[in-house]
């Protein structure tokens, strides 16, 4: 019997670098290496036209380089135009679960634009090192006009070929190349020893050949983290091809490789939804829970820009806000990098990421204030401007600072009365000082115009016989004031000796008010003395005894151990919610690792309950639970230290009028290291699946995860706006790690997971290191930590419970600002913006684009949905693709007056241009 001759293999060699912009070194130190690498690569490419290079699918590396080497722009763009240097389509390689869906779209949009400006974008959704992939990515890529994706981590074991049909929840599929058997480094080191090139090429071909039974050319990724190709790469290839009879090597960019690939899906295995399998590569799920304050800051910044700044500027601002919004988006996109917002880098990197996130938030708030300025100027200064960031008319609770000390209520422009509840009174005595007469001029220097102590002077008087100088101040005053008159009066009184200087403020109080506001619009309200008319409060809150709250929709009762029970009006009940469990963690920033000899602390040593608000608009209890948490992990004994830290967890349990969910805030001063703190919610019924919201979808997950590689397949998952399971939905403020535990009987969410090491070489739940062993003391997250939730019990399925609307109300409160116009004037009429209706239809973006407004909505529902878009003055509506280009794809909207309607398929992302 003779051997069958083997067919000659062809390896398509793609020289590249995987460039982590910041990781175990901060950005600027990595940029120094990037400049050196690209200097070398560009010089070699200029000298040898055979050379090819792929710059990791992200345009930011080019931007970072050209800031230092602007003189290289012409050379670099020339190589891109020639097709020898491939860049884009992303601006940066993101983490797909720790930013919003809109952030993903803007990242792709910016990367494509920057790459096109430089000579052309690589037409491939290249996603080489993300820690798993979100469900809607196929729809996002196809919506931007891309026909190929390329992934590594997270691909399930069922995929046995180099390509598969990755399918989004809406049914959109994209041909996807799987970087099997080595990921983006499948041919790394191939040319390190020219004398062994034939041997190594044969080994690479043998490793990758089983994924291509059709004998087609094999993609071989020649590169790794922060590496340049061999200097004489092209010569090595030619010498090898002349001598080797078994394997041919061909240089190409990633773009050139995919240009030769089919775009059809026939014969390809379909893989649906998110890619989060541990079958063949680590997906490092612990990044979702490490450095929790970074995730909280990211969510705040995205909300400030996406929901408060950009839509309100598009609808209500005539000035130029675009540059500020561009700066904000640039920062949000930069920090979405898979080694940035993840927190799995050194402490210096995390510091710089936090600073950029804070800048993005402040830019968003600055635009919000810029929009609000002209609107507030139309509102009298004794009234308030309210902004609604959501596309639905809302009646919601706001906290206002108003004048007076007795009962008040609010009135709108049309005379509608809104109830108010007093929360606290502000101090009226601001100063009562005794000073020598010779220091009185110094005291008067505190007055700037009519401002004193941040308020405006409304009156003053001098009593020489009592040696008293008295000022009355208010938030605003329209009375004339001249400091010269005060100086003259003191001079006439021949002030001497000790004088008493009193500064007294007008009575003010902080109230909670239940007010209504139009969709994505504004309204104004004014506080007037006296309680609201009878019957103004619907589903008001009653505090019953010392431990119960009831608003007719929900009843909450605090138990002796500090947990609480919740019962809905429909009879859905859960008990023991809010249990706090502290356990050890000997892992790192990438993966949780339970100690072999763990100590779980879930029972408080002492519980104190006190009432914080009485109702009828808001009622609340503060529950203090004192625990003895172990001080740190004991790595030598594979356990936790016997020394403990006394830790008090304060839980605010709040119920508001008309709300179907209870609001929770957990606060504690973390003084322990190497542990994981979780909050547990027993479910009304056992759950076999959970539904986590994030990135334009609500994804169903089971009780287990697929394993097979060297990483423990833990069923911890991320969710952004909410997670729902077994009749309970937990509304979230930021991307949060959750898990169904006790065989689906309970939902556990991570409050904090402190750790002191970036990666550990020896890890009980991961075979290979995820990086170097760098200390990360700041990742221990010492100090005060607060996490908020909403808890909504429901009957039936999650999508029948209007969870989206509850999450919108929880995450996007009405904004209240003081008016700045003339006092006592009439209130301006409300302004109505864009309204979006439809079961499960969520608005994700509104912005000003050339040709009108652009609005993006997503049908986050398993059923077809009819979306309605209403806008005063609406004259036309047109479908666009994801990048805002006119598109015939999808059902065309119909326009009836100022309302457009369109039928959306389940999970469809739809973008529209609105003409006013």
Helix ranges restricted to H, 49-196: 60-68, 73-82, 101-117, 137-143
Q: Would you state the pLDDT for residue 1? A: 36
Helix axes 347-377, 292-303, angle to 10 degrees: 30
On average, the pLDDT of the chain sits at 95
Given a contact cutoff of 8 angstroms between Cβ atoms, the answer to whether 397 and 514 are in contact is yes
Least confident of 243-247, 312-316, 505-509: 243-247
Cα→Cα distances 256→82, 93, 252, 297, Å: 11, 20, 6, 40
Distances (CA, A) of 513 to 288, 415, 534: 36, 15, 15
Rounded to whole angstroms, the Cα distance separating 44 from 47 reads 5
Which DSSP symbol is given to 95? -
Residue 433: C-alpha distances to residues 108, 436, 443, 467 (Å): 61, 10, 10, 12
Q: What are the pLDDT digits (tens) for 301-310?
A: 999 999 999 9
- Structure tokens belonging to residue 13: 């060699």
| pLDDT of 277 | 97
607: CB partners within 8 A, 6+ apart: 560, 561, 562, 623, 624, 625, 626
Q: Kindly indicate the confidence band of residue 775, based on its pLDDT and cuts at 50, 70 and 90.
A: very high
Residue-wise pLDDT tens digits, 432-482 = 999 999 999 999 999 999 999 999 999 999 999 999 999 999 999 988 999
pLDDT of residue 478: 87
Q: Assess contact for 581 and 750: CB atoms under 8 A.
A: no
Which of 403, 379, 380, 410 lies closest to 473, judged by CA? Answer: 403
Q: Please report which helix (H) or strand (E) contains residue 502, including its range.
A: strand 498-505
- The DSSP code sequence of 188-251 is TTTTS-GGGHHHHHHHHHHHHGGG-TT-PPEEEEE--BT----TTHHHHHHHHHHH-SSEEEEE
Pick the closest to residue 21 from 90, 77, 123 (CA basis): 90
- Any long-range contacts for 186-190 (C-beta under 8 Å, 24+ apart)? 186/219, 186/220, 186/221, 187/11, 187/13, 187/220, 187/221, 187/222, 188/221, 188/222, 188/223, 188/224, 188/227, 190/13, 190/220, 190/222
Q: Which of 832, 837, 830 is nearest to 900 (CA)?
A: 837
Burial level of 560, CB count in 10 A (0-12/13-18/19+)?
Answer: exposed
Burial of 212 (0-12, 13-18, 19+ CB in 10 A): middle
Contact in structure between 148 and 261 (CB atoms under 8 Å):
yes
What's the longest Cα–Cα distance across the chain? 125
**The pair of three-digit structure tokens given for residue 7, joined into one six-digit string:** 């067919």
Give the model's pLDDT for residue 653: 98
Q: What is the pLDDT of residues 807-837, one digit of tens each?
A: 999 999 999 999 999 888 899 999 999 999 9
For 709-718, the pLDDT digits (tens) are 999 999 999 9
The bridge status of strand 717-719 relative to strand 722-725 is unpaired
Render pLDDT for 57-112 as a digit per residue (tens, 0 to 9).
Answer: 999 999 999 999 999 999 999 999 999 999 999 999 999 999 999 999 999 999 99
Phi, psi of 207 (to 5 degrees): -70, -40
68, with CB counted inside 10 A (0-12, 13-18, 19+), is middle
Please, which pLDDT band fits residue 531 given cuts at 50, 70 and 90?
Answer: confident
**Residue closest to 807 by CA, chosen among 392, 342, 421:** 392
Query: Which residues lie closer than 8 Å to 268 by C-beta, 6 or more apart?
Result: 161, 163, 164, 165, 175
Find the helix or strand (DSSP H, E) in which 630 lies: strand 618-630
Q: Rounded to whole angstroms, how far apart are CA atoms 339 and 21?
A: 8
Pairwise CA distance, residues 564 & 635, whole Å: 36
- Whether the per-residue pLDDT at 805 is higher than 60: the answer is yes
pLDDT for res 3: 43
Task: Report, as an integer, the average pLDDT of 355-363.
Answer: 98
Global confidence as pTM: 0.96
Tell me how many degrees the CA angle 775-778-784 measures, rounded to the nearest 5.
155
pLDDT digits (tens, 9 = 90+) for 621-648: 999 999 999 999 999 999 999 999 999 9
Q: Where are the beta strands (DSSP E) in 518-569?
A: 522-529, 542-544, 548-550, 554-558, 564-568
Is 52 within 8 Å of 233 (Cβ atoms)? no
pLDDT of residue 469: 95
């Amino acid at each position: 019997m003779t051997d069958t001759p083997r067919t000659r293999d062809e390896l398509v060699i793609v020289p590249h670098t995987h460039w982590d912009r910041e990781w175990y070194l901060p950005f600027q130190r990595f940029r120094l290496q990037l400049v050196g690498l690209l200097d070398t690569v560009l010089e070699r490419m200029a000298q040898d036209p055979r050379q090819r290079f792929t710059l990791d699918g992200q345009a930011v590396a080019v931007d970072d380089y050209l800031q230092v080497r602007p003189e290289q722009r012409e050379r670099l763009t020339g190589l891109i135009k020639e097709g020898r240097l491939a860049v884009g389509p992303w601006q940066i390689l993101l983490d797909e679960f720790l930013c919003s869906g809109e952030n993903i779209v803007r990242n792709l949009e910016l990367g494509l634009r920057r790459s096109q400006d430089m000579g052309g974008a690589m037409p491939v959704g290249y996603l080489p090192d993300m820690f798993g992939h979100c469900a809607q990515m196929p729809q996002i890529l196809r919506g931007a006009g891309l026909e190929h994706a390329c992934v590594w981590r997270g691909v399930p074991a069922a995929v046995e070929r180099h390509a598969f049909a990755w399918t989004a929840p809406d049914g959109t599929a994209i041909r996807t190349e799987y970087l099997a058997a080595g990921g983006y480094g499948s041919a790394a080191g191939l040319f390190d020893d020219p004398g062994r090139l034939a041997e190594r090429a044969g080994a690479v071909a043998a490793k990758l050949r089983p994924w291509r039974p059709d004998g087609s050319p094999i993609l071989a990724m020649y590169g790794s983290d922060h590496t340049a190709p061999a200097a004489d790469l092209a010569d090595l290839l030619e010498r090898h091809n002349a001598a080797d009879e078994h394997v041919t090597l061909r240089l190409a960019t990633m773009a050139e490789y995919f240009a030769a690939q089919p775009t059809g899906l026939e014969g390809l295995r379909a893989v649906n939804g998110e890619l989060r399998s541990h079958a063949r590569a680590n997906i490092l799920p612990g990044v979702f829970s490490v450095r929790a304050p970074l995730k909280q800051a990211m969510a705040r910044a995205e909300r400030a820009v996406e929901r408060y700044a950009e839509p309100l500027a598009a609808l209500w601002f005539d000035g130029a806000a675009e540059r500020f919004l561009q700066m904000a988006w640039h920062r949000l996109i930069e920090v979405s990098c898979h080694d940035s917002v993840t927190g799995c880098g050194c402490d210096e990197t995390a510091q710089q990421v936090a600073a950029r996130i804070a800048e993005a938030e402040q830019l968003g708030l600055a635009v919000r204030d810029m929009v609000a300025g002209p609107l507030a100027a139309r509102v009298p200064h004794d009234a308030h401007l309210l902004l609604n960031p959501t596309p639905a008319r809302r009646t919601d609770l706001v906290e206002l600072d108003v004048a007076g000390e007795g009962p008040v209520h609010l009135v709108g422009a049309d005379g509608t009365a809104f109830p108010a509840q007093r929360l606290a009174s502000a101090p009226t005595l601001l100063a009562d000082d005794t000073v020598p007469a010779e220091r009185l001029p110094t005291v008067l220097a505190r007055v700037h115009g009519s401002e004193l102590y941040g308020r405006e002077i409304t009156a003053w008087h001098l009593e020489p016989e009592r040696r008293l100088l008295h000022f009355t101040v208010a938030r605003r005053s329209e009375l004339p004031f001249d400091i010269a008159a005060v100086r003259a009066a003191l001079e006439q009184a021949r002030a001497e000796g000790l004088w008493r200087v009193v500064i007294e403020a007008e009575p003010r109080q902080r109230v909670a008010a239940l007010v209504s506001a139009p969709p994505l619009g504004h309204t104004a309200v004014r506080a007037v003395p006296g309680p609201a008319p009878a019957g103004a409060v619907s589903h008001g809150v009653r505090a019953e005894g010392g431990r119960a709250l009831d608003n007719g929709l929900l009843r909450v009762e605090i138990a002796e151990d500090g947990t609480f029970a919740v019962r809905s009006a429909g009879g859905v009940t859960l008990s023991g919610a809010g249990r706090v469990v502290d356990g050890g963690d000997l892992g790192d920033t990438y993966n949780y690792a339970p100690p072999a000899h763990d100590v779980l602390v879930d029972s408080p040593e002492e519980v104190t309950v006190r009432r914080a608000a009485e109702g009828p608009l808001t009622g609340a209890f503060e529950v203090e639970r004192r625990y003895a948490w172990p001080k740190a992990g004991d790595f030598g004994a594979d356990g936790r230290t016997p020394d403990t830290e006394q830790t008090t967890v304060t839980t605010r349990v709040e119920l508001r009028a008309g709300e179907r969910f209870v609001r929770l805030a957990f606060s504690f001063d973390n003084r322990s290291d190497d542990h994981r703190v979780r909050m547990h919610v027993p479910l009304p019924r056992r759950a076999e699946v959970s539904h986590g919201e994030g990135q334009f979808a609500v994804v169903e997950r089971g009780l287990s995860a697929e394993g097979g590689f060297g990483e423990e397949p833990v069923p911890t998952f991320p969710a952004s706006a909410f997670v729902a399971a077994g009749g309970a939905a937990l509304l979230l403020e930021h991307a949060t790690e959750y898990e169904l535990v006790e065989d689906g009987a309970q939902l556990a969410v991570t409050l904090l997971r402190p750790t002191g090491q970036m990666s550990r070489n020896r890890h009980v739940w991961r075979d290979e290191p995820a990086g170097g062993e760098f200390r990360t003391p700041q990742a221990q997250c010492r100090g005060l930590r607060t996490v908020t939730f909403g808890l909504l019990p429901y009957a039936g399925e999650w999508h029948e419970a209007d969870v989206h609307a509850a999450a919108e109300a929880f995450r996007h409160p009405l904004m209240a600002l003081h008016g700045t116009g003339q006092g006592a004037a009439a209130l301006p009429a409300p302004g109505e913006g864009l309204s979006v209706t439809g079961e499960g239809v969520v608005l994700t973006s509104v912005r000003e684009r050339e040709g009108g407004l652009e609005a993006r909505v997503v049908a986050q529902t398993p059923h077809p949905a009819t979306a309605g878009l209403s806008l005063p003055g609406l004259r036309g509506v047109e479908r666009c693709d994801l990048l805002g280009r006119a598109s015939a794809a999808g059902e065309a909207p119909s326009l009836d007056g100022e309302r457009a309607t369109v039928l959306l398929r389940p999970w469809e992302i739809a973008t529209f241009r609105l003409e006013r």
